[in-house]
Chain A
Amino acid sequence: MQVQSYFSQLDNFEGELATLNLGPTHPATHGIFQNVLKMDGEKIVSAEPTIGYIHRAFEKLAERRPFNQVTPITDRLNYCSSPINNMGWHMTVEKLAKIELPKRAQYMRIIIMELSRIADHLVCNSVIGVDTGALTGFTYVFQERERIYDLFEEVCGTRLTTNIGRIGGMERDFSPRFHRLLKDFLKTFPPKFEEFGSLLERNRIFMDRCIGAGPITADKALSYGFTGPNLRAAGVDYDVRVMEPYSSYNDFDFTIPVGENGDTYDRFMVRQEEIRQSLKLINDAYNNLPEGAYHADVPDYYLPDKPDVYTKMEALIYHFKVVMGEVPIPKGEVYHAVEGGNGELGFYLTSDGGRTPYRLHFRRPCFIFYQAYPEMIKGAMLSDAILTMSSMNVIAGELDA
């Protein structure tokens, strides 16, 4: 009887709007987002996003942490590609302290950063597959992502929140096992990835679901501050790696893929092609990896070898000074941007010469482009809205900081 009365109530909704809470913990949103939707049947009339569910006050925390202790905070921004965040932060401090890295260290960074871009895009693209009903590709490429995490583990000891590298270079050189794993990865990953692509790229069902879902024009994307793959899918070829090359990206030749319609399919295809370009970058950087030091010679900022700390007075002093943050750093403000998994990830650091940032502001690409979401899904079906969100690759950690 109760069921019946419920349905008779629903009938009364004809011509009226229903309110639907999508999230905060909804399995389809892949993260903690809340959207209060006004629905006309299955059509979205308006959406009101609420964010901040995993806000952890990173900007405030950074004001009481020495520069090297800020790195673990950056891990937790876009946790699908932590190394890019880590290295973006290191490069910001290096810009402030005017540290020039040896080529080997820069190329090592490129290899790690491009590996994490692949990991980031793999998650995003395979989740688009999941949201269109194709789970196989997701389970398939997650094994490949695990192999990338094995590589990270070999370099820094952890897999997800990497804290990889140090201010002034890498923490250690690539180990023999890393070389073995990377060579294996570069050989066996591309055919598996192409297999994943062949499951979806020209799949009729997938294309029908994605083409035209959540489109945005280039003009609109620019005015909403889009960067990264989402902007490139709309046809604007802005990439920080090319515009303001850092870490010797200008030594390499790679293509920036662009889309046309800015819809889910274009976002998917741009990321697919970026993975191929990242592979090319890794191959080029690895095959041309120069000999030399894996860190700059800056004892003021870079920790000495641990055995030296136990046996040499000077190394002990430097170790103490670096750990306690006792080294003077120049005053001034620097902005450094890197091409994160989602776009321009910027660090705006204001230093007053103290051992911690006076103010550190993160330009988080997710936070800026997610505000276009209500407009992108207006008038769309609920299932398209889910798809649009996963194809925008909104990462809660980066969104909320």
Chain B
Amino acid sequence: MSSLTNELVHARIMQHAAEMVLGSETAYDGILIVETARESLIGLLTLLKEDKDLNYHFLTTLNAIHYPDQTGRELGLTYHLHNWMDNRRIRVRVWIPVADPHIPSLTGLWPSANWMERQEYDFFGVIFTGHPDLRRILNVDDMDVFPMRKEFKLEDGTRTDKDDRFFGREGNYQQRLD
């Protein structure tokens, strides 16, 4: 069913768009992740979508993630594409600084990106340039924060019984409690 392997896909991308690729790795679940810069995002995604051999024609979903410790690359955008003919998935990742959270919108490539991008704007404050209607979607219109960012605690910060340092969490979790 799937004659396309991660190696072949990677080779094909490098052949056509080596300058757009900043790095690549295989995720924990075996799916290829290609990292790119926001300037080349649309170019790379167009290639992945239009190229007859790659044929990643379906945008499964897209989501943002916030790492407050990674200075200059705090916000990560992950685009999940799926090729149904060969049944291969791929993720395209872009890191952007939280101080300048701009990234080109995919609405020209996939109309389905419209609400997905509105959702990530709503929760992370990522500004998708070129989006036709970038408004909050799930939260109230007059909310003035981007609640999925890690600086917004979910629970009362004075609670000590849920401090994850006591439960073997690795990394600097204190950041999220402060």
Q: Select from chain B the residue with minimum beta-carbon distance to A362.
A: B61
Enumerate chain B residues within 8 angstroms of A193, measured Cβ to Cβ: none
B116: interface (CB < 8 Å): yes
Q: Give complex CA distance A223, B58 in Å.
A: 7
7 shortest interchain CB distances as A-B pairs: A332-B28, A225-B112, A354-B169, A52-B138, A361-B63, A363-B61, A334-B29
Q: Give complex CA distance A337, B169 in Å.
A: 27
The 0/1 profile, CB within 8 Å of A marked 1, for residues 141-167 of chain B is: 000000110000011000000101001
**Contact: B58 with A225, CB < 8 Å?**
yes
B134: interface (CB < 8 Å): no
Decide if the interface of chain A is mainly helix, strand, loop or mixed. mixed
Enumerate chain A residues within 8 angstroms of B89, measured Cβ to Cβ: 335
Enumerate chain A residues within 8 angstroms of B29, measured Cβ to Cβ: 95, 332-336
**Contact: A63 with B154, CB < 8 Å?**
yes
**Contact: A225 with B84, CB < 8 Å?**
no
**Contact: B138 with A346, CB < 8 Å?**
no
Of A57, A348, A400, most buried by chain B (CB within 10 Å of CB) is A348
Which residue numbers of A lie inside 8 Å of B, CB to CB? Answer: 51-52, 55, 57, 59-61, 63-64, 95-96, 222-225, 238, 243-244, 324-326, 328, 330-337, 344, 346, 348, 350, 352-356, 358-359, 361, 363, 367-368, 370-372, 400-401
Query: A337: shortest Cβ distance to chain B, in Å?
Result: 8
Q: Select from chain A the residue with minimum beta-carbon distance to B78.
A: A348
Enumerate chain B residues within 8 angstroms of A57, measured Cβ to Cβ: 147
**Contact: B111 with A60, CB < 8 Å?**
no
Query: B35: shortest Cβ distance to chain A, in Å?
Result: 13
**Contact: A61 with B154, CB < 8 Å?**
yes
5 A-B contact pairs sorted by A residue (CB < 8 Å): A52-B140, A59-B148, A225-B58, A355-B169, A363-B60
Q: Give complex CA distance A60, B147 in Å.
A: 8
Query: B150: shortest Cβ distance to chain A, in Å?
Result: 8
Q: Select from chain A the residue with minimum beta-carbon distance to B171.
A: A352
A-B CB pair tally, cutoff 8 Å: 112
Query: Which of the residues A52, A333, A356, A363 comes within 8 Å of B28, measured between beta carbons?
Result: A333
B23: interface (CB < 8 Å): no
**Contact: A238 with B31, CB < 8 Å?**
no
Q: Give complex CA distance A363, B89 in Å.
A: 15
Q: Say whether, besides A224-B111, A243-B87, A352-B171, A60 and B154 are in contact (CB < 8 Å).
A: yes
**Contact: B28 with A64, CB < 8 Å?**
no
Q: Give complex CA distance A369, B119 in Å.
A: 14
Enumerate chain A residues within 8 angstroms of B137, measured Cβ to Cβ: 51-52
Q: Give complex CA distance A61, B169 in Å.
A: 18
Enumerate chain A residues within 8 angstroms of B57, measured Cβ to Cβ: 222
The 0/1 profile, CB within 8 Å of A marked 1, for residues 52-63 of chain B is: 000001111101
Query: B131: shortest Cβ distance to chain A, in Å?
Result: 13
Query: B77: shortest Cβ distance to chain A, in Å?
Result: 11
Enumerate chain B residues within 8 angstroms of A59, measured Cβ to Cβ: 123, 148
Of B58, B89, B173, most buried by chain A (CB within 10 Å of CB) is B58
**Contact: B28 with A344, CB < 8 Å?**
no
Query: Which of the residues B28, B87, B168 comes within 8 Å of A355, measured between beta carbons?
Result: B168
Enumerate chain B residues within 8 angstroms of A354, measured Cβ to Cβ: 164, 167-171, 173
Query: A23: shortest Cβ distance to chain B, in Å?
Result: 16
The 0/1 profile, CB within 8 Å of A marked 1, for residues 92-136 of chain B is: 000000000000000000111011100100010000000000001
Query: B99: shortest Cβ distance to chain A, in Å?
Result: 21
**Contact: A368 with B116, CB < 8 Å?**
yes
Q: Give complex CA distance A356, B31 in Å.
A: 22
Q: Select from chain A the residue with minimum beta-carbon distance to B87.
A: A243
* 9 additional A-B residue pairs with CB within 8 Å, beyond A60-B147, A354-B167, A355-B167: A52-B139, A59-B123, A64-B154, A331-B28, A335-B89, A353-B169, A353-B170, A354-B170, A371-B112
Q: Select from chain B the residue with minimum beta-carbon distance to A344.
A: B60
Q: Say whether, besides A52-B138, A55-B138, A332 and B171 are in contact (CB < 8 Å).
A: no
The 0/1 profile, CB within 8 Å of A marked 1, for residues 67-93 of chain B is: 000000000001010001001010000
Q: Give complex CA distance A155, B31 in Å.
A: 35
Q: Say whether, besides A222-B57, A326-B167, A326-B168, A60 and B112 are in contact (CB < 8 Å).
A: no
**Contact: A348 with B80, CB < 8 Å?**
yes
Q: Say whether, besides A51-B138, A52-B139, A223 and B148 are in contact (CB < 8 Å).
A: no
Query: A18: shortest Cβ distance to chain B, in Å?
Result: 23
Q: Say whether, besides A59-B123, A60-B154, A243-B87, A352 and B170 are in contact (CB < 8 Å).
A: yes
Query: A220: shortest Cβ distance to chain B, in Å?
Result: 8
B65: interface (CB < 8 Å): yes
Q: Give complex CA distance A388, B29 in Å.
A: 38
Q: Say whether, besides A333-B27, A348-B80, A328 and B65 are in contact (CB < 8 Å).
A: no
Q: Select from chain A the residue with minimum beta-carbon distance to B170.
A: A353
Enumerate chain A residues within 8 angstroms of B112, measured Cβ to Cβ: 223-225, 368, 371
Query: A99: shortest Cβ distance to chain B, in Å?
Result: 14
**Contact: B27 with A332, CB < 8 Å?**
yes
**Contact: B154 with A355, CB < 8 Å?**
no
Q: Select from chain A the residue with minimum beta-carbon distance to B118.
A: A371
**Contact: B167 with A325, CB < 8 Å?**
yes
Enumerate chain A residues within 8 angstroms of B27, measured Cβ to Cβ: 332-334
Enumerate chain A residues within 8 angstroms of B140, measured Cβ to Cβ: 52
Enumerate chain A residues within 8 angstroms of B171, measured Cβ to Cβ: 352-354
